[in-house]
Amino acid sequence: MEQVFNWITANQQILYIVILMIFVGIEVIGRVPSVLHTPLMSGANAIHGVVIIGAIIVMGKAEPGNYPALILGFLAVLLGTLNVVGGFVVTDRMLDMFKKKK
Amino acid sequence: MSFMGLNLLTIAYLLGSISFILGLKMLSSPATARKGNLLAAAGMGIAILATIFLYRDNETGEPLGNYGWIFGGLLIGTVAGTLAAKKVKMTAMPEMVSLFNGMGGACAALISLVEFSHISGSIQRSGIHEGHGGTVLIILLGLLIGSISFSGSMLAWGKLNGKVKDYSFAGQNVLNLLMLALALVATVWLVIHPESSYLIYVVLLLSLIYGIMFVLPIGGADMPVVISLLNSFTGVAAACGGFLYDNKVMLTGGILVGAAGTLLTILMCKAMNRSLKNVLIGSFGATASGAAATSAQGHYKEISLSDAATVMAYANKVMIVPGYGLAVAQAQHTCHELEKILTEKGVDVAYAIHPVAGRMPGHMNVLLAEADVAYDKLQEMEDANEGFKNTDVVLVLGANDVVNPAAKTDPASPIFGMPILDVELAKTVIVNKRSMKPGYAGIENGLFFQPKTSMLFGDAKKVLQDLCSEIKNI
């Protein structure tokens, strides 16, 4: 039990961010019209591509001879980039079509 | 220099976090959505570049290495991602989102795999420290959630492009829960005994299978909801990475998407008047057979192309109800063509848009906008339902469940309670479908058997082309 309390204390900053971000996330999209559901999902999909930063760190820290880590890291960077770039581009294409209507 | 660099990195991450929050906010309003997306993309770019050049290891202060590998991955990913996103057809966009989401999940899972091998290596060398439990837990959660999101998204992708059929069997829910429970037990065991490192492969395997089994029984029409849910899973997996590296931009971005994605999932369910539980557990197929039996009997009548053309050409008001069939046939341009020809003949033409027609909310708006259909021609459900009683001809193009009167009249129907387009209020209804097969929800549609309805079978594009040429000749 003590370990758990220690862990909470050690990570309290992060826990505050997590809790506040949950409220921000809910608040920010609370009033979205249903036509925008899909682009919003797609945009959020691109944003969680931020996981690529973790991939870059893994890749950049791998020792040059450690091929399993290098290969897994490389794959992670590649997939993360696909998520980010593909996500933003496809969202932009969706929204571009909305704009034309006016 | 390195101190300065770290300060810059902090500022870059702060900018990234702010851009994500603002971007998401702007994405939820039509006027600012596109700018919001670009803003979030810019923030992401800053955060990525800052990481590559300014990151320093907490303990050693070393910068990142392996630039060749990093830039190689970034370059290939950028080219492939841009091409895929640019080339994808409108109808396939939800699939594409699912695919990209799976990539993000896989990325999170891979990070966890590498980090776990680091930590288990250090445990072998110097024994277990007190802090290891928490770190191992975060790594495993990232792996678990990321893998579920990856395999689930891949299956959702396969379902949406028709490669995988729905499949369910008795006791599936129990089996799924059992697998999830096993994965969690293995996770907890590893947190307490990090030296049993082989268990990580058990967690990996179980969560991959769980992701597949979780999506397998869910109907194709519900895929957008599932993708949105998996999207928020990936957000949480990304946040685990943020926790692990004490990286604020990953943490904020991940949690933001996790929370917003969960709410969005619930909002999508609401738009279809269903609960999330109903989508995930009470899959459509289970109750459909009962409802189908009651309305399957009856006769439908067909209408010939020339009759349909005549009826429409001499009508005062025609309403077009587009659905997934139109999207599949890529007939949006031909549909716009028909609208123009009818308008030239003095017919008042408008489109009735059901918010969840197609495979994703807003699908029809996007599809028709692609064909340059004027914005004011698109009527939302409430307005369209007002207008149907003054309408002479309703042309239903590949829509089915969104015009199924069972949603209003048959409490036993799985779609009971979903708001629909009241096309029956119009004088005549012409339904274009490829065959009498029921729609995606797998339920019979009583509308097709009503006296005022006539069927016009065939591929939407072919039928619309023929209609256009028939009407021109009148």
Residue B54, C-beta contacts closer than 8 angstroms, at least 6 positions apart: B5, B6, B8, B9, B12
Query: Given B222, B401, B410, B422, which residue is catalytic?
Result: B401
Q: Does A31 touch chain B (CB under 8 A)?
A: yes
Tell me the HSE value of B243 on the side-chain side, using a 13 A CA sphere.
29
Q: Which residue of A has its CA nearest to B117?
A: A69
In the numeric block, the tokens 């109800």 are attached to B321
pLDDT of residue B295: 45
Q: Is the pLDDT of residue A69 over 70?
A: yes
- Which residue range(s) make up the domain with A8? 1-31
Residue of A12, A26, A53 to mutate when probing chain B, most B C-beta within 10 A: A53
Look at residues A76, A61, A77 and name the one whose alpha carbon lies nearest to residue B109. A76
pLDDT of residue A72: 95
pLDDT of residue A99: 61
Q: Is B401 a catalytic residue?
A: yes
Condensed to tens digits (0 to 9), the pLDDT of residues A40-60 reads 999 999 999 999 999 999 999
* Yes or no, beta carbons of B27 and A43 under 8 Å apart: yes
**All structural domains of chain B with their residue ranges:** 1-87, 91-283, 298-473
Same domain, A9 and A46: no
* Yes or no, beta carbons of A80 and B113 under 8 Å apart: no
Mean pLDDT, residues B261-276 taken together? 85
Residue B316: count other Cβ atoms within 10 Å of its Cβ: 12
> What confidence tier does B291 reach under pLDDT thresholds 50, 70, 90?
very low
Q: Is the pLDDT of residue B358 over 80?
A: no
| Domains identified in chain A, total number | 2
* Pick among 1.20.140.10, 3.40.50.1820, 3.30.360.10, 3.40.50.1220: CATH of B298-473: 3.40.50.1220
What are the helix (H) ranges across chain A?
Answer: 2-10, 12-28, 37-47, 52-61, 67-81, 87-100
In chain B, residues with a C-beta closer than 8 Å to the C-beta of A53 are: 47-48, 51, 241, 245, 247, 249-250
Look at residues B401, B397, B402, B393 and name the one whose alpha carbon lies nearest to residue B335. B397
Same domain, A59 and A12: no
pLDDT of residue B96: 92
- In terms of C-beta density within 10 A (0-12 exposed, 13-18 middle, 19 or more buried), how is residue B298 classed? exposed
> What confidence tier does A77 reach under pLDDT thresholds 50, 70, 90?
very high
pLDDT of residue B287: 42
Look at B131 and B42; give whichever has higher pLDDT: B42
Condensed to tens digits (0 to 9), the pLDDT of residues B421-439 reads 999 899 999 999 887 776 6
Q: Which residue of B has its CA nearest to A31?
A: B28
Q: Is the pLDDT of residue B134 over 60?
A: yes
The overall average pLDDT reported for chain B is 87
Condensed to tens digits (0 to 9), the pLDDT of residues B171-212 reads 888 898 999 999 999 999 999 888 888 999 999 999 999 999
Element (H, E) at B301: strand B301-302
Same domain, A95 and A46: yes
In the numeric block, the tokens 């993309």 are attached to B41
Q: Is the pLDDT of residue B289 over 70?
A: no
Q: Does A26 touch chain B (CB under 8 A)?
A: yes
Q: Is the pLDDT of residue B293 over 50?
A: no
Q: Is the pLDDT of residue A76 over 70?
A: yes
* Yes or no, beta carbons of B78 and A90 under 8 Å apart: no
Condensed to tens digits (0 to 9), the pLDDT of residues B363-377 reads 788 788 878 888 788
pLDDT of residue B301: 86
CA pseudo-torsion sign B184, B187, B191, B193 = positive
Closest Cβ opposite residue A45 in set B86, B100, B363? B100
Q: Tell me, what's the ipTM?
A: 0.94
pLDDT of residue B99: 96
> What confidence tier does B409 reach under pLDDT thresholds 50, 70, 90?
confident
In the numeric block, the tokens 């209408």 are attached to B303
